[in-house]
A and B are shown apart, each in its own frame.
Chain A
């Protein structure tokens, strides 16, 4: 069975500071990994995905994530956050690219 653990339920940071949102997964087979963002009262939007190849994945809005197979992690990073990045972020894993298992989410709050 697959599972996803997002280690922080809330992450407060100051504007223009760097941020890392942590994600660990468990799976007995090869995986596809995703980060989605959810702004208030909206659906989920894909930030980035890892399917294969380079372990450093770049996404939209200046976010990137690194796939670390030995540590079963897929942490999300941004070097300088903006107020508009305030949202809930979900890490997700799939072994078939059809069914996706989501983590419980990390609420990112940006302080001016």
Chain B
């Protein structure tokens, strides 16, 4: 079975620019997560989707971050405008909530804001 796919793997932008990340979860996984992992820290949940609905976005900085999962499959995370402190790895994970407690992670997108 194919794993969680993410693109791009690396992105460098200047502050105040916008950027978008894409995630394609494992087929059949209804639950999708976006995490932000700042260097030296553990992943922090930004948003959780169940199918195409938002379950938890309490830690998403909504003034600059947005995410969508329109058809309940792949998802995009956008930052507009970016700040220096947004430099981090953005991880996508998916889970089949009926079968397993395990979240499966993609390789991540490393964002550098200069």
Which of A44, A49, A94, A99 has most chain B Cβ within 10 Å?
A44
Is the beta-carbon distance between A98 and B55 smaller than 8 angstroms?
yes
Question: Inside 8 A of B95's CB, which chain A residues have their CB?
Answer: 98
Question: Inside 8 A of A94's CB, which chain B residues have their CB?
Answer: 101
Question: Inside 8 A of A36's CB, which chain B residues have their CB?
Answer: 105
Task: For chain B, give the interface size range.
Answer: 20 to 34
Within 36-50 of B, Cβ neighbours of A (below 8 Å) are at 40-45, 48
Closest B-chain residue to A103, C-beta based? B42
Q: By the criterion of a CB under 8 Å from any partner CB, how many residues of chain A are at the interface?
A: 23
Kindly state the separation between the CA atoms of A99 and B33 in the bound complex, as whole angstroms: 9
Question: Inside 8 A of A4's CB, which chain B residues have their CB?
Answer: 42
Given A90-B43, A102-B43: A44 in contact with B105 (beta carbons within 8 A): yes
Closest B-chain residue to A51, C-beta based? B101
Binding site for A on B (CB under 8 A): 4, 31, 40-45, 48, 55-56, 91, 93, 95, 97, 101-103, 105-108, 110
Binding site for B on A (CB under 8 A): 4, 9, 32, 36, 41-46, 49, 51, 90, 92, 94, 97-100, 102-105
